[in-house]
Structure 1
Amino acid sequence: MTRFAFLLRRPFELIPVLFGISLISFVLLQLTPGDPVRLLLGPKAGDAAIALVRERYGLDQPLLVQYFYYIKNVLMGDFGQSISYRSAIGPILLERIGPTLYILVYGLALSVALTLLLGVLAARSRGGVIDQTIRIICVVGVGVPSYVAGLLLVLVFSLSFKFFPVSGYADGIFANLHHLFLPALTIAISVTPVLTRNFRATLLQQMNAGYATAALSKGVSPSQVFWRHVFWNSLLPTVSLFGVVASFLIGGTVVIENVFNIPGLGLLLVRSVLSRDYLVVQGVTIVMALGIVLSNLIVDIVVAALDPRTGT
């Protein structure tokens, strides 16, 4: 069996996970207090109008029947009709996926860069001023909620110095490198401390490993041992942790998008919950669950590429 053989069976393992998530979220939404139809039509709507709207959206059917038809339609690419937006949900989701993906990729890219830089600096200066400073920053970063970090960044870099926009989403990929820098940095701040502490610990462990000591005893320079062996051997545990953190951040974008008013899936989710638009909430949940599943799959592929022992 090759190290990439898991790609043949992994899709079949993920299907029950997605079905389970969809079922649980569907049932929980149905148990949520409030009637979306009454909220849409207002308090003065008559019973006949309410019954007509419920029939139109299939809300008069038993719960299991509703779920069966919902899954059947989703498999055909139809997420249903939004009650509040009064249009098909599929195009709404496609329109909102772009901003969410952008800030996720942007934020994770900043996280990788900061993690590699801070982890190497801390490990190479173990016990020194730089190491102690980085460790303190990581401890503080872990304890600061993402919405607090986002508000502080807006206060300093948007309102005080006016370096970056306060909120919103620009047109074009390169324009958003500046426009969405603060949301991406907020993501990086919430992720980098955990990754840096893990990467630093792994680097120190590998620096004290037998192969590193043997190489140094043979006259190999410390820099060559570090960059040719220690650094690359330390990436594997951090990449695995990166997958867990990336999955967590997919749900965490809900907070960040609402802080910076970014028209992504997170902002759509909050507004749909407030308007009791259950089908939109269900659609966003499925898309986010699919994103978490795919991110874990990508991490498994990267781990298999870094470690030849995988799958043997």
Structure 2
Amino acid sequence: MILGEYSTPEAIESMHHTLGLDLPLWEQFVRFVQNLLINGDTGSSIISGTSSRELIAERAPVTLLLIAMASLLAILISLVLATLAATHKDRLLDHMIRIFPTITLGMPVFWVGLLLILIFSVRLGWFPVGGVGEGVTGTLHSLILPAITVAFSQIPTLIRSLRAQMLEVLESDFVVTLKAAGIPNRVILMKHVLRNSALPTLMLLGVNISYLIGGTLVVEQVFGIKGIGSLLFSSISKRDFPVIQGIALYCAISVVIISLLIEIASWRLDPRTKGK
């Protein structure tokens, strides 16, 4: 692939030696692991010759920012809607919020992105159609629609989980006791109900974090964002295997790190879960 379709056998043999493909398989694997552990690299790009680590590091900031914004939006929107649904149980507002996850679960994330572009970018002109703006303000403004699109895929399951947990806590004995003691409902809701309901939903978010990262990579293509997602798809189309390996590796590491952070947050919410 590097030398082209009409390369000579001599050139291919020379390239095999340069890449170490003439070595025994176990030695190739040892060299690969050493390079991975020492340099954090899975090899140089077949197309550009640049190390995969440098290519990924160049695109990573915008992708990480998009993931952070999407996670924050998913948590905030789910928190508000689930609280409203739980505190208005079996009323019109509760039914409307419960219908929302049922409808949205069947919507592909790329379709949601295209729909948001048509409404808020093409017709209303509130946001750019694609790309990333300049400066902090321009960057954040251009990433709002992609972040909403990614968050959209996580919100339905989070609302269902948090609403169910809040209803269970609201009907518990200690909440009835707090109400009988004359403590305001707002204080009970914020300090006791949400704290005891958040743990299962937080663990659910940790389980779904890999889907959130995968959705981010797809959404980057829809909005024309030059992040890790666009790098991945271009590498797949060009069969640039070292870069594909590097992206898969760093995404896996990101999932592990985020899952660890969520575990730590769950320990802070409920120390009884520590060590389980």
The TM-score, its normalising length taken from structure 2, stands at 0.93
- Counterpart residue number, 1:295: 258
- Counterpart residue number, 2:204: 241
| In structure 1, distance between residues paired with 2:206 and 2:171 | 26
Q: 4+ residue runs of structure 1 moved beyond 6 angstroms?
A: none
In the TM superposition, residue 305 of structure 1 has moved relative to its aligned partner by 0.8
In the TM superposition, residue 54 of structure 1 has moved relative to its aligned partner by 3.1
State the superposition RMSD in angstroms: 1.7
CA contact (8 A) 1:110 1:184 kept: yes
| In structure 1, distance between residues paired with 2:228 and 2:20 | 24
Letter in 2 for 1:92: L
- Counterpart residue number, 1:45: 7
- Counterpart residue number, 1:185: 148
2:33 paired with 1:71:
yes
Q: Which deviations, in whole Å up to 9, do the C-alpha atoms of 1:169-213 show, x marking residues without a partner?
A: 223333211111111010111111111111111110100111112
- Counterpart residue number, 1:91: 54
In the TM superposition, residue 221 of structure 1 has moved relative to its aligned partner by 4.0
In the TM superposition, residue 216 of structure 1 has moved relative to its aligned partner by 2.6
Report how many residues are paired: 274
Letter in 1 for 2:266: V
Counterparts of 1:1-312 in structure 2, within 5 Å, are 37=1, 40-79=2-41, 80-311=43-274
| In structure 2, distance between residues paired with 1:43 and 1:297 | 46
Letter in 1 for 2:86: A
Structure 2 unaligned blocks of 5 or more: none
| In structure 1, distance between residues paired with 2:161 and 2:30 | 44
| In structure 1, distance between residues paired with 2:253 and 2:236 | 20
Q: Which deviations, in whole Å up to 9, do the C-alpha atoms of 1:12-61 show, x marking residues without a partner?
A: xxxxxxxxxxxxxxxxxxxxxxxxx2xx4332222222333333223344
Pick which of 91-100 and 52-61 moved more.
52-61
Structure 1 unaligned blocks of 5 or more: 1-36
Aligned with 1:166: secondary structure?
coil
Pick which of 112-121 and 76-85 moved more.
76-85
Letter in 2 for 1:256: V
168 and 64 in structure 1: CA distance in 2 versus 1, 3 angstrom threshold: farther
Q: Which deviations, in whole Å up to 9, do the C-alpha atoms of 1:207-228 show, x marking residues without a partner?
A: 0111112223344443333233
78 and 104 in structure 1: CA distance in 2 versus 1, 3 angstrom threshold: closer
CA contact (8 A) 1:247 1:296 kept: no
- The alignment-based identity, stated in percent, is 36
